[in-house]
Every structure is written in structure tokens, then in C-alpha cells.
Structure 1
Amino acid sequence: MDRQPDLRPPLDSELLSASPHLSDYIQVVTRRLWLVLLIFAVTTASAIWAVSRQKTLWRSEMAVQVTDPLERARSLTSPTRVSGMDIFVDPMQSQIEVLQSRSIAERVADELGLRLRRRGTNTVRSELFSDAVVTDEAEPGWYELRYSADGASAALVHAPTGDTVGTADAGEVLEAPGLRFVLKRAPEEFRTYLLEVVPSVAQVASEVRLVGTAREQTNIIDIYLTHEDPELAPKMLGAAARALSEFGARQVRERAESDLEFAEAQLDSARNNLQRSFQKIREFKETEAFTNLTAEEQQLVQRRQDALERLQQLDDQRQALQNLMVDIQAAGVEGVDIVAFLAALPQGVNPQITAIAEDIRDKQDEIQRLLTEERVTPDHPRVQAIRTQLARDEGSLRDAVDRHLQGIDREMAEVRTELDRIQEAQRRFPQLQNRYDELDLQRSIDREMVLYLQSQLYQAQILAQGAGDGFIDVVDPPGAPIEVTPRGKINLMLGALLGLILGVGAAFFLEYLDRTVRTSADVETLLGIPVLGIIPRLRKVDEEDDRRAGLPLIVALDPLDPAAEAYRNLRMNLMFMSTEDEPIRTILFSSPGPHEGKSTTAVNFAVMLAQQGQRVLLIDADLRRPSLHRAMDLLREPGLTNLLVGDAEAREAIRPNVLPNLDMLPSGPFPPNPSELLNSKAMQRLLEELQGKYSHIIVDSPPVLAVTDAALLGAHTDGVVLVLRSGETEQRAAERAVEQLRRVGVRVFGAVLNEVSTSNAEESYYLQYYYGYHPREETGWQRLRSGLSRARFW
């Protein structure tokens, strides 16, 4: 039969551009509802198991006030200097990070002997013993604490060897090699408890889970700790505060020791340089050049030297007093660094100034003590009284300094006048004098360096003395721990929610991996051919009604079955495609692969045509794996193969009236060359001859992709109906099957979507009508099964 291959029909643009509907997503979930429920059940069961094993926890709290350890030490010598911590980092957050560091956790674990821990039952460590100490001599491993029958005493046994390493009565200290703790009475009826000595504190540091939060606009940190041992929790907080304080003190101590060592080394070097300067001056005086001077010249040199020294002393006094006045003007008498002033004050200053300065220092210390130790407010009457006294002292100090500065100015003017007279007299020996001036200048420089380094050494000594003071002040000590109720219900709900999310996610992931043809929309979009029929899954007929083995003849056995109605719909669609100009009389049924229902569809379609009163011939052209003869309970030979090779006549091979108006031509014996037989002239002549005797000829062929028989045989028929199994036929296989048929000029009428489940949301719209009009009487069990099969689960 000469025909042009039909063109692929245009795709529905609305179908391609339509966005997914909510029902599409629900369909994905319901299609794999078993997987969703399985994952949900496993996750929920895991959450229940985890919640059942949750232990009762206890929460302890404390509040501490934190100061910068380096800044506290610096305030003793230079309070106006700004700490680098204040500029570059958040000091409170830094201390919180130190508090939560592994180093602090290990110190706490070591102080409380956490290397000795309870293992096994729900009994916590503090119920068995307290005040544990574990040293490096303790042998790591397992121990058994064996109580006596009355629970009033116990023995500590090394589990691997069975040796008793220590015994004690309740309330007494039990000592063992490297271990020591205060024993308590047995907390319950059990008399043997398992203990473990961990090799290092690093392994138990994770038990110290400190959480710190800084109060806004303050230097106070709230510290929290949650632990299963209510007695141990507050002790761990206290140990953490001590460890943090020691950490800061160690920083200051190391800095102070380093500064002190450096200042001492530099001061020794400066003193040596000063001694060398004095030695050079003495050597200069002892030289012949100096001794040969006249008595008048020697007297002038000595007078100039004394005047320069006195001038330097007066200038040092004035500079120190002027700096003091500048500091008082900038920071007030309460904020001035009197300690540094007294340390740098040269000799010769009016004793009245020194006495007033010492009195001011004492009052500053008193105010600092009231504010820090007694924690009074700045407006407290005692503080205000001391500040009033400081104001009077400030006035006295200013008057004394002004008078002393005036005296210094007068004396310095007199000394300069004296130097001018000496210089006028010394013009007679300038060379010797210049040399002497150089030596004297170097001596002055060395002397200033010694004085400066002495001041630095004094500051370093103050830092070293203050390094031992802690910088952690406990505001609220650890109180009684509060029981923390485990969030069992919330965790269970979260576990169930997680299981639901994982299950739905797994369903969508498998849907993404699924590349099978499931719906009529898939067929029309991918293949560009119409869907002629949607066949539901065929039910199993009763054995007494099904006398034929093999393919289910649901149309013949139960014409009112919903599947039979689906075949009628297929017949209607195919018949409407037939016209007077191009009648459809020979139809080939095939599929991309095996086990997709082509033979079942072909035989039921043939029976449906025969029931309409038309003369129909059913040909089993699957010469490799024939099955129609079993469905009709017929012998396979003679058949189509015999007709093609000329071994039999048509009247011998065709089985008449296997069903009313339906004749059957089985496949016959297996030939060695099926493709050649089906593509032979004999096959073409046979079809043309049979078309004159029958209204319709239905041909069952092998799968398209398995062998070439279907494509070759399709060229001798009016067209092909491609049977696709919903959820089984691969999309790529269906595309290749259609391409292969069109490549050889075979007309593809359309596709039949077979084995469609009623849970398929897109196709159930049609299938529900079939089942809704089904008049069969069903038992209660059958109705229940039918209802469950159509359940939508939403």
C-alpha cells in the first residue's frame, strides 16, 4: 500500500506553556505515597527514640563584672592612655570568647576532676561522690565502685585487673593512686557502679559548655551552664570565673615581667654610660692642659660647671611643675596621675608641694576604693566630701606651685646672668672650654636617660606588683540550678515535620529521575500523536468465567466492565479517523518494547469490533513470541507461516468464529526468517486477499524497537496503533519507536495509554466515570478495595 508518511501534528502551545497546577504536585506525592509514609514513619520513630533517651538537665547562672586586665594595670601609672582593646575590638565579646575557649574548659575540667566520670545508668556523678581530684598519676581505664550491702561504704576496684585500689566509708575521703574524692552513700538499690578515668582533660572539656552574654552598655557578663549534674553545674561556673581571672592576671604578669626585665637592662646600660661620662670629665681635668690653666681660669671653669648644673636642676623642677599644672587643668585634680608626678619629681622642690601632692594621692585612692570596693555612687556624701577636700588641696597646690615657679624664674635669671659673665671671662681660652662643654653635655644627656629609665622601672615595678590582682568580680554568684525540661513534644513535632519534608523531597527527587510516559499529556507533548484510548488496569476475572488461559478477554467476558468501555472509546476514535476516501481496514498494533499490552489491546479491540456486527479477522503476526492462540485456546499450527510459505490454504489456517463474527489466524510454526516472510510479496497479497473477505483486519506484531518486523509489516497495513504502558514505557523508547515507523513511511494513527491507574490525577477524570457507571454488584470487601484504589489522599 503506497502512502505518504503523515506529518507530526502541531503541538498545543497552551499545553507546552501551561504552568504546573497544584494537583500536579499532589499527584507526585500520592504516586509515591508509600515512600513518603515510610520515611515519615522512620524519622518519627527515630525522633521518639531520641526523645525517650533525653536526660534531665540543670541550668546554673552567674554574673561577673569584667575589666581589661592590661588597662587596670596601666591605670596605676598612666590612666590617660587608651587601651588598644578599646580601639580595635569589642572587649566584652573578647572576654566571652576567652570564657568559651577550650583552654578555660580544660582548666575547669582539671580543677573539678572531670576526668573521673560516671558511665552507664542515669545516676550522675555527684550522687556517688564529690570533690574529686585526678592527677597525672591516675591510670586511665575502667573502675568499679562497689558498695557494701548497706551502702555505707565502698571499694574502688580497677576493672581490668580486679585489684582494690581504695576503700572508704560514706562521708570520708577515698584515696587511690592518682585519685581522691569524698564518698557518698549508695543512691539506689544498685551496689556496683562503673567509673572511667579519661586519659586527658581535653577529652572531657566538651562537657564544660559555657554560654556568655554581655549586658548592653555595661561590663557585666551573664554566664550560663547546662549540665546533667545539679551539684556540679554551679561549681563549674565558679571554676570558670577563677580560670578567666587567672588568664587575665597571667597576661598582665607576663607583660609586667617583660617590661621590668627590659627596663632593668636599659637602666644598667644608661648608668654605665653616665659613669663613663664622669670618668671622661675627670680625665680631662687631670690632663696637663687643664692643670696648666691659671687659678683664675680654673675657677671660671668650675663656676660655669656649677652654674650649668644648677640651671638644669631648676629647669627640671619647672618642667615637672608645669606638667603637673597642665594635667590638673586637663583632667582635674581627681584625674591627675600624682603617682607618676612624685616618681619624676626632681630634688630641691619645695617640701610643701610634695606634702600636698601626697595628700591628694591619698584622697584619690580613697575615692577609688569607695567606688570599686564599697560600690557607692559618685554622688555619695562621702565621695562628695573627699572631692571638696581635693578642691581645697588643689588651690593650695596651685598657690605653692606658683610661688615656687616664681622663685625658680628669679633664680634661673640670676644663673643665666652669671653664665654670661663667666662666658665673657672665658673667651681667653675657647678651645679647652669647648672640649669641656662637649663632655659636660654628654654627661647631662646620660644623666637624663638614667632619670627617665628609673621612672620607667618604677612603673614596671608597679605593674608587676598589681599583676596578681584578679580582674573578675562576681556580681551574682552561682545559685541553685534550675531544672531544664526537655523539649520532647517540640522535638517530636520537628522530627515528624522533618520526616514529612524528607519524604516529600524524596518523592519529588524520584519524580525528577522518572523518565517514563505516564499521562496523555506526556504522549501528546513528546510524540506529537493523539491518544486514542486510555485503558485502566484490567481486573482479574473469576476462574469459572475465564476458561481461556493467557491474555484477559475482558470485553468478551464482562462487557460492562470499565475496561470494556475504554476499548469502546478506542474503537470510536479509530472509526472516526476512517473516511470514504481513506478507509481504515487493516490496523497493526505494536509497542516500543515487550510486556506493554499490545496483544491484549489487539485482541480486545478485535472482539469489540466483532461485537458491533462487523466481520473481523485477528492475525497473530508475532512470529517470534506469539500469544493470541493461548488467549483463544487454539492450536498455533497451521497458521500465518504456513500460508506464507504455501504449506496450507487459507481455509485450513484461519479458525472461523472463535467468537461471534471473529475469525483468528494464529502465527503458525516459528520460521527461521520472520522479517523476510512479513515483508514478502506473499504477505502483501495475503492482506489484499483477506481485505475482500473481512471488514477489518487486526494485526498483532512484535515490538518496534526489538526487531524490524513491526516497521516492515506496518508498510502493508493502513496504519499502526502504538500501545504504551503508563509508568513503564520510557519516553526515549516511545520517541524512537515513532521515529522508526515514520522513517519507513508508516502512518501512526495514535497511541493507546495502557495500564493507567485510577490514582493518576490527570487520567482519573475519565476513569472515574467508567467506574461510576459500573452496575456490578460487589461485596463489601470488593467495595473497600475499589474505594482504596481510587483514594486521592488529599
Structure 2
Amino acid sequence: MDKSSLVPLGSNGASSDSGNGVSAQGVQSNGATEALAAFSENALAADWRVNDQFSGNAGPAKYTNEEPTNGFDFQQLLAVMRRRWPIMLAAFLLSTGVGITINLLAKPVYQASATVEVDTGPASSIGPDIAGLEGFVQSKQSRSIDTQVEILRGGPIRAEAKKRLTQDQAKFLQGFAPVTVEQRNDSNLLDVVTRSYNPEVAAAFANAICDQYIDFSRQKNQNNSLGAIEYVKGQIETVKKQLAGKQNELKEFKQKTGIFMISETGTALAGNLAQAQSALQQVEAERAASEAQLKNMRAQLATIPSSKVVPDGITRNPAFDALQTQLTQLEIQRSAALQEYVPESFKVRSLDADIKATRGKMQRMAQNIVSGYKPDPVREPLLQSIATMQSQVWATDARVTALNGQLSEAKKALSQLPEQEFQFSQLTTDVTVLQQSYQQLVAKQKSLEIGVGGQVADARMVFEASPSSSPVAPDKKRTLLYSVMLGLLGAVALAMLVDALDNRIYNDADATRATSLPVLAHIPYIKNTLEQSLVNTGDRVTPLLESFRMLRANIAFSAADKPIRAIVVTSSVPNEGKSNSALNLAIATALGGERTVLIDLDLRRPTQHKLSNLPNAIGFTNVISGQATLEEALQETDTPGLRVLTSGPVPPNPFRLLNSQSARQTILKVIETADFVVVDTPPMLGLADARLISSLVDGTLMIISCQETGRREAGRASDLLLQTGNEVLGTVLTKVPASNDAYGYYSYQHYDRYFSEEDTSGNGLSTHEDAPALEEGNGKKRRSKSK
């Protein structure tokens, strides 16, 4: 803003000193006024942009707030915290109190841990030497680590474990008995962790869970053995019936044909057939057991997540097929050699060595196929076991093929005997094979029955739990820390929420957002009612006087093309300090050397005569009704240069009276006879008086009570003013606390200290070393240090 365009506060040839607060009648100068005026000019130039087109009452001022809107406004947060500190303190104390209460009332929780080792790998004692038993082997070995963890966590194990405790111990577990089971790294060790309000109960419960699981595993294995025994018994009965049937057939054949023996050749052929059948049954049983174990391993492999590229099984290739074919030929040669040589002969032993070497090559080739991939440390051991088992299955296939060939050759040779001798040999062979199977089943039954009593579990206790001497919960330090942190965050969040829901105006930003108007001044909140009016303090330098001098300076700065000689002072709602602000502004202007008139046009609730201690018998209503002249109605005050036109008697219809031609002429006449006119009007909302009068003056000033006026009310009032098209100068925040952030870096607390030190000479000037003094004679200012 160009400083040359500003209009001086004085008129009628008043000097520039009077424009800066020096009265032409000899009122003392105040250097603070000039400093504050300069500060206001810089503030307006930096923070406000006022439309350059001010032409009479053509349109309202357009104001744009230049405050940055991006980023975090720490000052605004501090302002909210200062305003809402009681709520924040309550939220903080509540959160901290809850934390302390939890620490005082919460029962100490003790933890105990027991460790068991589980077995998932070794073969079953049942044995796979009998076809059909592979199902019991699989059921025993099918539980992985994860499966056993879930079993330990299950409700049945915990329920049975509680039964192992005493009645007094079980009471501590009612309603609170958490149990966690975790695998220790990649080992077979499982940690069973329990918690309780009693350390002895926690340790006893952890040990009881482990003991119950060990008994459960042992019982499971015993049930598997018992199931195998029952299966073997059923097979014995079946074979026994088949053996009895074949023996009866052989007996009837002997009685019918009279043949009780055959030639040595037939006997040898029958023996070879029986031997081949028995060997084939044994090999098939071994293959079935291997297949069952291979299936179980693959099921376990499927439960382990793969982190590397590894095969899930063995892929056959031509080299491996050639080895299997070679093994099959060696098995056939061995079977043929056994027909001529005993097992201890050099021929048979040589074939056994070749067979063993070929099987070793097959196993190594299977392992090389697996190790050729990038290893997975978790899956690799199980994959190696699968490779070995797969090679065993394929080697068994070679033996089965060889035995089937041997069995076919034996049957073919036996079929070349005479018919009756052939039938006799066949029956004899069947009886012999069934007898061998029966004997094998009986021996297996006895072995299983012996092993049932000595059956062991697949788990054992490694470390028993012991009572802990110190609780693990509650963590009092952490609880208190969390409650303090939550209290602080909750207090800030609650303060921000309450402030966002609060409709009241607290600072410049709130006022600007609500009204879209600049804030021209801040009027401090003064507790002492006598000091709230300049009528009582006079020209004594106070923060209140300096605030209104700053307001008067900013009003002058608002004029770009013409001086502001008359303004309307209004507010959105009653009790915002409108009338008192109008009187104080008029007094401050008069103390600055200007001829000032204060008109009370609040004809509904007039108060200026009370604030000024003047009679109200004759006033504005008397003038426009012709009962008195304007000079008779204007009353002098104790403030030099200030006259007051009170309202006079309250009319029955104030708006009609104000809208009359006589009222307009009276107002314009007052403006012509004074340098500056302040018009006190009713509030905006609900009344049209202020809007009507604003068309007769140079600008309108809206008063906003800090921490009392609502944003919606202020916004609605400003909208009504702007809709008239008349000039709206801005707003004034009244009742501003000394700590309010709206006043910026120079708060009223600084003013109090600045004006508290009186000049020892008694001239009312500050004893501050930079306080300005008035140089008599030429009106120039100089700096003088106080003594």
C-alpha cells in the first residue's frame, strides 16, 4: 500500500503530528501510537490484500487471507492446547488413572514352561513283514510336528490334564488358563507354556499337559498294536480254514486215487513252487509296507512350505530304467541258480553280490537326482528319505518280476507231470504254503502280544516346568507408559475434536474464515470494569487506549482513494462489546486531535448516554421530530474534541424513523460538521437498522467478541453486510485474553510491562530508555534516555 495515499487522522489543516496522535489543543503525544501505526501499516501490507477500487460506496472491500494453508501449523496447535487445557488435563489424568488402577487391581500372572521331545521318524515296532499291517504302520507315523502341536493345544488334552491336578489347584484355572505350544526352532522340541495367578499351579498345569500327552501317545501306540493283533488273529483264522480245506482235499485225493507219494522229480518241482510262492508273498508284503511309508513321507512333504526349487519325488530316466532291468535279470538268474545250487554256493553268492551292487547304484542315482537341485534346508532331509524309499520300491519291483517269472517256470515244469501226480503236487504245495503262512502269522501274533506291554510313547519329557518367582504380567512400567502416551495423544485428539466442534471464534484465523474480512484490531480483555472504558482512564496511556489508536490507524489505512470520515459500528448478536467499542474508538480519535462525534442510533436498546454519563432527555429522535435542533442535541464530554448525540426517547418504530428523510439529513449534517463520526447501531442478525445506516457512511466495522461469538452468527452477519454493496472495513476482536495467539508476538502482557513504569517527571510517559518525548516549539520528536 502506498503510504502517500493514506489520509491523515487530523483535518482542517492539522499537522502531521496530530495525525499521529498529537492533539492540536496540546494533548500529549504518544510515541507508541506512531510505532503501532507503522506496525499496523506493515502488517496490512504483508498479510492483507484490499481491492484497489474504492469508489464511494460502490462495493465492499475484497479481502484475501494470505496465511499459508499447507503443512502443519504448530502455533495453531499450541493455541488449541492453551484453550482446551482443562479438557486435555482431564483426559490425561483419566488415562493415567486407568493405567495406575490397572496396575493396582490387576492380579499378578505367573508363567511356567515345560518341554517335550516328539518322535516323528523311526519305524514302527509292528513291522511290515505281513501284508495288511502297513495301515497300522502308517497310522503310527503319520503325525507331523504341526499335528502334534495341534493335539497339545486341543481341548481334550487340557481337560484331562486338569483332572490330574488337585481340587485347590483346579480352582486357579477357572476362567483363566491360557496355554501356548510352540516349536523350538526347527527341532523336535515343543515348549508348553501356561499362565496362572499361582506360580505352583502354572508349573503343575504345564507338567500335567505334557504327561497327559505322553500317556495319550503311549495309548495310541498300544491301540495300534492291539489293532494289529486283531488283524493277525483274523488272518490266522482265514489261513487256518484255507489250510483245513486243502488238507481235506489232499486227504480225499489220496483216498480216491491211492497215491500217497510222487516221484523225486515231482517232489522237487513242488518244493520249488512252494518256495517261489512263499518268497513272492513275502516280497509283496515288503513292497506294500514300503509303499505305505513312501505315501506317508510324501504327505509330510506336502505340509512343509517350499522356499526353493526342489523336486517332490523321483523322476525316472533311461539310465535308472536300465539298472532296474539289470536288477530284474539278476533276480531271475538267482532264482534259476537256486534250483541247482544251495544258497551258500559260489554261483548264488556271486549273483547276490551283483544284486547288491545294482541296488546301491539305483539308490545313489535317486539321491543324485534330488541333490542336483538347489537344496532346501527344511525339505532336503525328507526328500532324501523319499528318494531312498522310492529306489527300494523299484528294487522290490524287480524282485517281484523275477519271482513271478520263477513261479511261472515252476508251474510250467510241474504241469508236465502226469495228471494225477500234477494234482497231488499242487495240493501238496498249497498245503505247504498255507502251513508256512499259518506258522508265520502265529509267530507274529505272539511277537505283537509281547510288545504290547512294552509299548512306548512317541514323546518324552525333556524339561519339567518349575514355579516362577516373578510374575510376567502385568508389566507395570509398560502399562503406565502406555497409559501416559495414550493420555497425551488422547488429550490432544480430544482437544482438537472439541475445538473443531466448537462454533466460537478464538483468533484472527477463525474470524477471517467466518467473515472473509480482515481483523483490524484486538481489544484486550480487562477484568477491572472501571478500566474497560476510556471515559474513566482518559488520556492515560494504557493497552486499551493503544488498541483503539491502532484501530483508528488501520481504519485510515483502509482508505485507498478517499478519507474515512464516518463509520457504522455493529455486531452480529448483542453483548459483544459493540457500544463500548464505539465509545472507546470515539474517545481515542478525539484524543488524537480530531473533532469527533459519537451518534447512538441503537434506538431499541440505547446505552451511550449511560456509558458517557450523559442525560438522554434530548437526542437524535428529538432532532428528527423537530423538537430540538442538532446543536442543542449534541452534548460535550470530558474528552476534548468529542461530542455525543444520544438516542433520545425510544420511538415505537425505530426502523421507520431511521428510514425517514429527516434522519438521513441529520446524519449527513453531523458528518459535515465533524472530522470523524462513529455511529452505534443495533446488531445485524434479525434487524435491518445497521444495513440501512451503512449506506450513509464511508464504511462499516463489525465487532466480534473473542471466545463468545459463534462462527455461524458472524458469517451470517458479514454476508448480510456484503450483500448491501456498501463498504465493509473489517472486524474487531474484543475481550481478547492476554495469552491469545491472535495478537501475535507482542501480547498485552508486554504492554502491561511497557506501561507499568511511569515517568518520574509525572508527564505520563514511560521510563523505558527508548520512550519518545515531545519536543516543544517545533513539534519534532527526539530520543531521550530517562534518568
TM bucket normalised to smaller: 0.5 to 0.7
1:65 aligns with 2:116: yes
1:9 aligns with 2:50: no
Q: Would you say the 8 A contact 1:73–1:252 is kept in 2? A: no
Change (3 A) 1:267 1:523: same
Aligned mates of 1:426, 1:264 — CA distance in 2: 41
User: Does 1:773 find its partner at 2:766?
Assistant: no
Higher RCO (CA < 8 A, seq sep 6+): 2
Superimposed CA distance per residue, residues 247-290 of structure 1 (whole angstroms, 9 cap, x where no aligned partner): 3533663586488569847975995698589769979998xxx9
Please state if 1:237 is matched with 2:237. no
Q: Distance in 2 between matches of 1:621 and 1:277?
A: 133
Match for 2:701: what amino acid? V
Distance in 2 of aligned mates of 1:234 and 1:28: 53
- 1:415-564 mapped onto 2 (5 Å cutoff): 416=409, 419-420=412-413, 422-423=415-416, 425-426=418-419, 469=457, 471-476=459-464, 478=466, 481=469, 488=476, 491-524=479-512, 527-541=515-529, 552-553=533-534, 556-557=537-538, 559-564=540-545
1:706 and 1:285, CA in 2 relative to 1: closer, same or farther beyond 3 A?
farther
Call closer, same or farther: CA 1:752–1:462 in 2, change over 3 Å: farther
Secondary structure of the corresponding residue to residue 629 of structure 1: helix
Q: Contact conserved, 1:209 with 1:226, CA < 8 A, in 2? A: yes
Amino acid at match of 2:689: D
The amino acid across from 1:66 in the alignment is: E
State yes or no: 1:36 paired with 2:88. Answer: yes
Quote how far apart the aligned CAs of 1:747 are.
0.7
Q: How does 1:343-422 map to 2 (within 5 A)?
A: 416=409, 419-420=412-413, 422=415
Aligned to 2:30: none
1:285-304 to structure 2, matched below 5 A, reads none
Q: Which residue of structure 1 lines up, in the alignment, with residue 762 of structure 2? A: none
Aligned to 2:554: 573
Asked if the contact 1:62/1:476 (under 8 Å) is kept, the reply is: yes
Secondary structure of the residue that 2:463 maps to in structure 1? Answer: strand
Is the 2:246–2:430 contact (alpha carbons within 8 Å) kept by the matching residues of 1?
Answer: no
CA–CA distance in structure 2, aligned partners of residues 646 and 666 of structure 1: 15
Q: Does structure 2 conserve the Cα–Cα contact (< 8 Å) formed by 1:554 and 1:563? A: no
Match of 2:566 in 1: 586
CA shift for structure 1 position 554: 6.5
SS in 1 for 2:78: helix
Structure 1 stretch displaced more, 498-507 or 742-751: 498-507
Task: Name the aligned partner's letter for residue 247 of structure 1.
Answer: Y
* 1:475-518 alpha-carbon deviations (Å, 9 max, x no partner): 35626745779855554444434333332232233233345433
What is the rounded CA distance, in whole Å, between the counterparts of 1:452 and 1:713 in structure 2? 125
Letter in 2 for 1:8: K
Counterpart mapping for 1:140-159 below 5 A: none
Query: Is 1:690 paired with 2:677?
Result: no
Partner Cα distance (1:669, 1:463) in 2: 122
Letter in 2 for 1:311: L
Could you give the per-residue CA deviations for residues 559-609 of structure 1, whole angstroms, max 9, x where no partner exists? 321121111100111123347x63322210112222222222111001111
1:100-115 superposed matches below 5 A: 107=160, 109-113=162-166
Which residue type is aligned with residue 678 of structure 1?
L
Structure number with the higher strand fraction is: 1
Name the structure 2 match of 1:725: 705
Contact 2:165 2:208 in 1 (8 A): no
**Native 8 Å contact 1:250 1:467 kept in 2:** no
Code of the residue aligned with 1:540 in structure 2: it is N
Q: How far is 1:39 from its partner?
A: 2.9
3-state SS, counterpart of residue 741 of structure 2: coil
Alignment check: 8 A CA contact 2:596 2:674 kept: yes
Q: Which residue of 2 aligns with 1:204?
A: 173
Question: 1:370-392 CA deviation, whole Å, 9 max, x = no partner?
Answer: xxxxxxxxxxxxxxxxxxxxxxx
Superposition RMSD in Å: 5.4
CA–CA distance in structure 2, aligned partners of residues 660 and 414 of structure 1: 142
- 1:602 and 2:567 correspond: no
Q: Which residue of 1 aligns with 2:279?
A: 317
Ranges in structure 2 where 5+ consecutive residues have no aligned partner: 1-54, 129-133, 294-341, 345-398, 760-787
Kept after mapping to 2: 8 A contact 1:554/1:561: no
Aligned amino acid, residue 564 of structure 1: L
Q: Separation in 2 of the partners of 1:555 and 1:491? A: 58
Structure 2 SS opposite 1:599? helix
The amino acid that maps onto 2:57 is R
C-alpha spacing 1:657/1:242, structure 2 compared with 1 (3 Å): closer
1:55 & 1:413 partners in 2: Cα distance?
79
Aligned letter for 1:720?
T
Q: What is the match of residue 628 of structure 1?
A: 608
Matched, 1:247 2:247: no
* Worse overlay, 449-458 or 210-219: 449-458
Would the aligned equivalents of 2:114 and 2:465 in 1 still touch at CA under 8 Å?
A: yes
Residues paired across the two proteins, number: 588
State the one-letter code of the partner of 1:112.
L
Question: Aligned partners of 1:753, 1:315: CA distance in 2, in Å?
Answer: 113
Paired residue type of 2:173:
V
- TM score, norm. by length of structure 2: 0.61
Task: Give the superposition deviation at 1:628.
Answer: 2.2
Q: What SS does the corresponding residue of 2:547 show, helix, strand or coil?
A: helix
**Secondary structure in 2 matching 1:765:** coil
Query: CA contact under 8 A between 1:249 and 1:467: conserved in structure 2?
Result: no
